[in-house]
């Protein structure tokens, strides 16, 4: 028995560093020397069927963050525009008071909204996020979109290179340990890097089975920029999938077969695949069972044949296309 156990440990150590205890997301090193947990909890409540933001009018996000921390999550993703920063902060405060976790063990991300892209507006906006979160610093602050807008949603003529100067100020002031961007394409990222003294530590983009982002992943790998994958489930669940969304859904026979082989769910297979692509997924759930299951993806590995099946669903299909912004000179996606 002892020998068997020993052999299993050695085998694990030899076969892959990525396979660890369930419920614990291994840390990944960023290009600025900090570390980020390789899976996090999303806290955006999403859009209603008519395209508006789901109103935040209960404490479901606070409950979700508390459950997540209890389940082993150490990485939480929020944004000024989600209206969930207060709840994320309340949950963190409660868990620290309970002694369940220390601030230094948590990785908290928030994002700068489009109406604060002026260089001088960045630090004040970050301070407002920190006040809502009840935190002294963020682990990661992201420019949410490359598109600048006014308070009234008109386009503002502000280059994201200028906005990045404000992000560098925030980092220098110790208000954000790491800084990065979200929803930038390769051209924009390349331009930002060539024109700035500090390289983004992370890029947050949509990555899921229908949108596997090979070009951006390769670019970020070469540049040593961590890729955080949002909307990691894409159109996997019937309730969320648009009528025109390509397969698969969670009852897909090929996916169910892979899931059965590993004694996992299709959702877990989906997340594991993204992790093996080198992506840091941030699945959102406010449901206890799902929150717990979504981090149980570090105790198994897919094989090449299984990865080939998952690769076949890559259709360059985007769930968050923000086509209302397609006339902006900074619109990042194909028009
Ligand atoms: N940077 C950006 O522009 C950007 C854009 C979009 C999202 N994000 C971030 O990324 C996070 C994740 O993306 P997302 O919220 O769009 O989508 P998602 O995480 O792909 O999907 C969330 C949906 O999946 C359901 N779900 C979660 N786990 C499940 C499971 N194991 N089985 C069945 N259903 C499950 C959730 O339901 P329940 O909650 O009801 O359990 C919810 O309806 C966001 O919350 C946000 O933090 C960033
Ligand atoms: C990135 O976005 C810019 C600004 O909209 C656009 O000009 C460029 O063609 C885009 N590049 C790619 C690779 O999509």
Does 3.20.20.100 match the CATH number of domain 27-325? yes
Give per-residue pLDDT as tens, 260-315: 999 999 999 999 999 999 999 999 999 999 999 999 999 999 999 999 999 999 99
Tell me the best of 185, 213, 220 to mutate to test the pocket of ligand 2, counting ligand atoms within 8 Å of each CB and taking the most. 185
Q: Which ligand is nearest to the CA of 316?
A: 2
Element (H, E) at 226: strand 226-230
Q: In the 3-class helix/strand/coil scheme, how is 76-117 assigned residue by residue? A: EECCHHHCCHHHHHHHHHHHHHCCCCCHHHCEEEEEECHHHC
Give percent above pLDDT 70 in the chain.
Answer: 93
62 lines ligand 1 (CB under 6 A): no
**What is the model's pLDDT at position 51?**
81
Task: Please indicate whether residue 237, judged by its CB atom, sits closer than 6 Å to ligand 1.
Answer: yes
Phi/psi region, residue 312 (left: phi>0; alpha: psi -120 to 50; beta: rest), is alpha
Q: Which of 73, 82, 330, 331 is catalytic?
A: 82
Question: Do 179 and 141 touch, CB atoms closer than 8 A?
Answer: yes
CA of 120 to the centre of ligand 2 (A): 26
Quick one: pLDDT band at residue 226, thresholds 50, 70, 90? very high
Minimum CA distance residue for ligand 2 atom 6: 332
Let me know if 15 is exposed, middle or buried by CB neighbors in 10 A (0-12, 13-18, 19+): exposed
Residue 50 has pLDDT above 90, yes or no: no
Give nearest CA residue, ligand 2 atom 9: 187
Ligand 2: distance of its center to the CA of 205 in Å?
15
Distances in whole angstroms, Cα of residue 36 to Cα of each of 27, 143, 211 = 5, 18, 23
Q: Is 75 annotated as a binding residue?
A: no
Q: Ligand 2 in contact with 328 (CB < 6 A)?
A: no
Q: Whose CA is nearest to atom 2 of ligand 2?
A: 332
Q: What is the pLDDT of residues 130-167, one digit of tens each?
A: 999 999 999 999 999 999 999 999 999 999 999 999 99
For residues 205 and 226, is the Cβ–Cβ distance under 8 A? Answer: no
Residue 125 CA to ligand 2 centre (angstroms): 27
SS3 content of the chain, % helix, strand, coil (to 5): 40, 15, 45
Ligand 1 pocket test: which of 47, 88, 208, 231 has the largest number of ligand atoms within 8 Å of its C-beta? 231
| pLDDT at res. 22 | 57
- The pLDDT tens digits for 248-265 are 999 999 999 999 999 999
154, with CB counted inside 10 A (0-12, 13-18, 19+), is: exposed
Greatest distance between any 2 Cα atoms in the chain: 67
First to last CA, the chain: 60
Q: Is 82 a catalytic residue?
A: yes
The pTM for the full model equals 0.94
Q: Which residue has the tokens 């230094």?
A: 104
């Amino acid at each position: 028995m002892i020998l068997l156990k020993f052999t299993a440990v050695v085998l694990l150590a030899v076969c892959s560093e990525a396979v660890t205890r369930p419920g614990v997301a291994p840390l990944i090193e960023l290009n600025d020397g900090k570390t980020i947990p390789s899976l996090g909890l999303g806290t955006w409540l999403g859009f209603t069927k008519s395209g508006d933001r789901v109103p935040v009018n209960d404490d479901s996000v606070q409950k979700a963050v508390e459950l997540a921390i209890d389940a082993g999550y150490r990485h939480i993703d929020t944004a000024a525009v989600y209206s969930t920063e207060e709840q994320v902060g309340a949950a963190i405060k409660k868990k620290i008071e309970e002694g369940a976790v220390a601030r230094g063990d948590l990785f908290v991300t928030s994002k700068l909204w489009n109406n604060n892209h002026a260089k001088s507006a960045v630090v004040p906006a970050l301070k407002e996020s920190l006040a809502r979160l009840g935190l002294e610093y963020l682990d990661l602050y992201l420019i949410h979109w490359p598109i600048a807008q006014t308070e009234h949603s008109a386009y503002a003529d502000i280059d994201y290179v200028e906005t990045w100067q404000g992000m560098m100020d925030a980092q220098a002031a110790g208000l954000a340990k790491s800084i990065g961007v979200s929803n930038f394409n390769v051209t924009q990222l390349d331009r930002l890097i060539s024109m700035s003294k500090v390289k983004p530590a992370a890029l947050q983009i949509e990555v899921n089975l229908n949108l596997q982002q090979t070009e951006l992943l390769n670019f970020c790998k070469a540049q040593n920029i961590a890729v955080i994958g949002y909307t990691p489930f894409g159109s996997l669940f019937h309730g969320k999938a648009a009528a025109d969304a390509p397969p698969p859904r969670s009852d897909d026979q090929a996916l169910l077969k892979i899931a059965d082989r590993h004694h996992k769910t299709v959702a877990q297979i989906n997340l594991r695949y993204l992790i093996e692509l080198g992506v840091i997924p941030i699945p959102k759930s406010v449901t206890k069972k799902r929150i717990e299951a979504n981090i149980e993806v570090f105790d198994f590995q897919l094989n090449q044949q299984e990865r080939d099946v998952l690769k076949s669903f890559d259709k360059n299909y985007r769930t968050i296309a923000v086509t209302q912004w397609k006339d902006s000179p900074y619109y990042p996606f194909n028009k």
